[in-house]
Amino acid sequence: MHDARPRLTEWLLTREGRGNPHTRLDDRHPDGVAWSTGNLARPLVHGATYFAALADVLDGVGEGDLVCFTDWQGNPDERLRGTPGSELVEVLGRALDRGADVRALVWRSHAGRLGYAVDEHRDLGRLLQARGADVQLDMRVRASGAHHQKFVVVRHGDDPARDVAFVGGLDLCHTRRDDARHLGDPQGDPIAHEYGERPPWHDVQLELRGPAVHDVETVFRERWEDSTPLTRSPVRRVRDRLDRLDDERRRLPEQRPAPDELGPHTVQLLRTYPSLGPGWKHDFAPRGERSVARGYTQAMRRARSLVYIEDQFLWGRAMSQVFVEALRANPDLHVVAVLPRVPDQDGWFARDPQVLGRMRAIARVTAAAPDRVALYAPENQAGTPVYVHAKVCVIDDVWASVGSDNFCRRSWTHDSELSAVVVDTDSEDGSSSYGRRLRLALAGEHLDRVDVDALGPIGPEADEHLLDVMADCVGGREMFERLAASADALEAWHAGGRQGLRPPGRLRRLPTPRLPWPRRLLAAPWYALLHDPDGRRWTDRLRRRL
């Protein structure tokens, strides 16, 4: 019998293909392999689901256990369960009281007057250090760059079977703890006015158990042990001393062996690290790493049926080119993208450059195959747009990524990013129950057929239910057509004055972005320099090399 299971080297990068010979991420893998087998991967849809799962894990750690996390934005008072006492700093503080070792790398962030959470990050560092944690404010980034990785690793000293890592797009901060109703986080911070005072928020995190936990921990350890100073600014160092923020990193305990295999999932970690510039470089990536860009590009070349995306941006020429090439090479390929209806910021300086980047990408992708590309934006039952912050890509139900990176040049070259790709090898027909499960669950919510919150962590037990209620969406073309019909019905209901019962479904056609020529000219330099900058070395840019 012919074995049609996916060949991992066709879908995943080898160690050489990662393009970073200085990392130790793949050292424990044999023969050029750059992935881990035998894992159990479970997507957690919505911040409320992830935060509750994380709180449960943290409530179980104590003496001999290690907790490591990174954050782009963190708020010490964010309630992981929505109740008093479940604040992030309190949950971690109780873990410290029980003897757990807590380490954190939090992006220091740019000035607060630019809209960044620099003061909140300093508060998080001070409060956790006072309880015994080691929190470092990390500014080893390019100008206008950011540490955008969002992950947590928990290693248990007495029971490695409980080891777990969470990887994805969810920060431990305000606005993220929404659920399937999409009424917004009660601790929400305002974004663009279209989303209201309590912005509805759609996001996804991935829970990993098995050997891949060791790999995620290695990502943290490489950054923690990097000899590059956390900041080059003497002003920041002086302020840290005045605020009694300790910048001395304690040595991490010796890394434990990888947990035993316990599931059918192969997991590859993809990362972005920029080239920091002359005289300043990471020990583990002195020339940067762009395995996110390389991994997506390789997988897209194998796309034949359906690429399903949920993304915050989808900007620019380089990112859109991978879709254009795939659509032109494969006449049966369809692309579905779920995006925010409008950018998350008001004001021409913030919004116009983002609209310009979206215009360029959408125009190129839709021109390549107008009848095979569909772009949607979700709304809640009240008609308020839902901000899509998820970073999900499922290709032919075989290759599925959940992470911190967006489809844009910034994520692929300029900021630090981490994504986890899952390839399911438990099927002999080449399909993946994991990828299909993730795609159908997300589409099922958008069609108002699936209560994703009731599913909890999306595991094999959900298959029968999803295949039942989503029977007409199992095939790529079928799902493409079903989403289109649902969106058209909802659009007609709105156009008719919202009379009668609201049709099921939450997706509306994404409005074609428009920007007058004078505003395009003004937006172009800010788009290229601040919103979607290039983190490659000049030699790589000139050669157009990822």
Same domain, 238 and 336: no
Confidence at residue 498, expressed as pLDDT on a 0 to 100 scale: 95
In contact, 33 and 14? CB cutoff 8 Å: yes
Q: For the domain that residue 497 is a member of, what is the CATH number? A: 3.30.870.10
Same domain, 88 and 52: yes
Helices (H), 270-347: 291-300, 317-329
Confidence at residue 122, expressed as pLDDT on a 0 to 100 scale: 87
Assigned domain for 115 exists: yes
pLDDT digits (tens, 9 = 90+) for 506-522: 999 999 999 999 999 99
Same domain, 239 and 336: no
Domain span including residue 345 = 291-540
Assigned domain for 25 exists: no
CA distance 178 to 198: 10
DSSP helix/strand/coil, 172: strand
Cβ-Cβ contacts under 8 Å for 257 (sequence gap 6 or more):
160, 214
Query: What total number of domains does the chain contain?
Result: 2
In contact, 215 and 269? CB cutoff 8 Å: yes
Confidence at residue 280, expressed as pLDDT on a 0 to 100 scale: 87
In contact, 300 and 399? CB cutoff 8 Å: no
CA distance 149 to 272: 9
DSSP helix/strand/coil, 106: strand
pLDDT digits (tens, 9 = 90+) for 133-155: 999 999 999 988 999 999 999 99
Rounded average pLDDT over 349-377:
95
Confidence at residue 3, expressed as pLDDT on a 0 to 100 scale: 44
Assigned domain for 105 exists: yes
In contact, 322 and 293? CB cutoff 8 Å: no
Confidence at residue 91, expressed as pLDDT on a 0 to 100 scale: 98
Confidence at residue 6, expressed as pLDDT on a 0 to 100 scale: 61
pLDDT band at 200 (very low <50, low <70, confident <90, very high): very high
Q: Which of 211, 238, 273 represents a domain boundary (last residue)?
A: 273
Q: Which residue has the tokens 């050997």?
A: 211
Same domain, 224 and 321: no
